[in-house]
Amino acid sequence: MQPERTMRSGAGQAAFSPMFIQHRGERILRIDFSKLEASDLAIAADQVRRIVTAEPPRSVRTLTILFTRLTADSAVALKEYALAIEPHIRASALVGPSFWRALGAVLQARDREEIMMSDDEAAALDWLASR
């Protein structure tokens, strides 16, 4: 077993730290992938997977902020992550550029879960809290 790797920003601060927040009385997992290099996405996705799968089925609202470039490896890692957490997701909001929102629309069209795509984090939080 390999030791867990921690991703850090330049000043020694953790660059990736998913956390549950409260918004309008609802618990929402805020996941900010935007400061990560593509090579760190698999590690980060695994960290989030462990958090989400520890929760009851259909109970987790996620706010994912994604302004990250993908590599083939990181795309596979995100796909595996999405499949692993899906049974635990109540609703998801994706904040990011149009490419990511288009990808979210494909998932939504497959009726996998309630997904909202936005470029506005506040609107995404409001939507999640209403679910």
Which pLDDT score, from 0 to 100, does residue 28 have? 98
Q: What is the pTM of this model?
A: 0.80
- The larger pLDDT score, comparing residue 74 to residue 65, is at 65
Where are the chain's structural domains? 21-129
Report the alpha-carbon distance of residue 83 to residue 69 in Å, rounded: 20
Residue 96 predicted with pLDDT over 90? no
Q: Are 39 and 74 in contact (CB under 8 A)?
A: yes
Domain 21-129 has CATH 3.40.50: no
State the DSSP code for 3. P
Residue 121 predicted with pLDDT over 90? yes
Report the alpha-carbon distance of residue 90 to residue 60 in Å, rounded: 5
The kind and range of the H/E element at 100 are: helix 98-109
